[in-house]
Structure 1
Amino acid sequence: MSDRFTELTIDGVRRVFGEQVALRGMDLTIKGGEFVALLGPSGCGKSTALNCLAGLLPLSGGRILVDGERIDQLPPEKRGFGMVFQNYALFPHMSVRRNIAFGLAMRKVAKAEQARRVEEALRLVQLGAHADKFPGQLSGGQQQRVAIARAVVMEPPLVLMDEPLSNLDASLRLEMRSEIRRLHQSLGLTTVYVTHDQEEALALADRLVVMRDGEVQQVGTPQEVYAQPVNRHVAGFMGYRNLLPAVVTATDGEHVTVTAEGVALTGVNRNGPSSGEAVVAVRPEDFAVLAPSAPPQADELRAEVEIVEYHGREQAVEARLPGGRAVHLRTTERLAPGDAVRLRVPVERVLVFAP
Structure 2
Amino acid sequence: MSFEELRLDGVSRSFGGHAALAGLDLTIKRGEFIALLGPSGCGKSTALNCLAGLLPLTRGSIWQDEARLDVLPPERRGFGMVFQNYALFPHLPVRKNIAFGLQMRRVPRAEIRRRVDEALRLVHLEDQAGKLPGQLSGGQQQRVAIARAVVLEPSLVLMDEPLSNLDAKLRLEMRTEIRRLHQSLGLTTVYVTHDQEEALSLADRLVVLRAGRVQQIGTPEQLHTEPANWHVADFMGYRNLLPLKAGARRGAGVVVEVEGRELLGTPVGDLAPGSDVIAGTRPEDLTIGPAGGTGVPATVEVVEYQGREVAVEARTPGGIPLNLRSVDRPAVGDRITVTVEPRRLLVFPADGA
The answer for unaligned runs of 5 or more in structure 1 is none
The total of aligned residue pairs comes to 349
Partner of 2:229: 231
Query: How far off its partner does 1:252 sit?
Result: 4.0
Q: Distance in 2 between matches of 1:136 and 1:272?
A: 57
Residues 128-155 of structure 1 show CA distances to partners (whole Å, capped at 9, x for unaligned) of 0000000000000000000000000000
Residues 200-224 of structure 1 show CA distances to partners (whole Å, capped at 9, x for unaligned) of 0000000000100000000000000
The answer for unaligned runs of 5 or more in structure 2 is none
**Amino acid in structure 2 at the alignment position of 1:201:** A
Partner of 1:69: 67
Q: Distance in 2 between matches of 1:296 and 1:326?
A: 19
Q: Trace 1:50-199 onto structure 2 (pairs within 5 A).
A: 50-199=48-197
Query: How far off its partner does 1:68 sit?
Result: 2.3
Q: Trace 1:1-355 onto structure 2 (pairs within 5 A).
A: 3-252=1-250, 254-275=252-273, 276-292=275-291, 296-297=293-294, 300-355=295-350
Query: How far off its partner does 1:274 sit?
Result: 2.7
Contact kept, 8 Å, 2:38 with 2:209, in 1: the verdict is yes
Query: How far off its partner does 1:272 sit?
Result: 4.3
**Amino acid in structure 2 at the alignment position of 1:60:** T
Q: Distance in 2 between matches of 1:27 and 1:158?
A: 18
Contact kept, 8 Å, 2:293 with 2:337, in 1: the verdict is no
Query: How far off its partner does 1:260 sit?
Result: 2.8
Moved more, 66-75 or 179-188: 66-75
Q: Distance in 2 between matches of 1:51 and 1:310?
A: 41
Q: Distance in 2 between matches of 1:89 and 1:242?
A: 39
Q: Distance in 1 between matches of 2:131 and 2:251?
A: 64
Identity of aligned residues (%): 64
Runs of 4+ that moved beyond 6 A: none
Q: Distance in 1 between matches of 2:251 and 2:287?
A: 25
TM-score normalized by structure 2?
0.97
Q: Distance in 2 between matches of 1:234 and 1:208?
A: 11
Q: Distance in 2 between matches of 1:9 and 1:233?
A: 26
Q: Secondary structure at the match of 1:290?
A: strand
Q: Distance in 1 between matches of 2:331 and 2:164?
A: 33
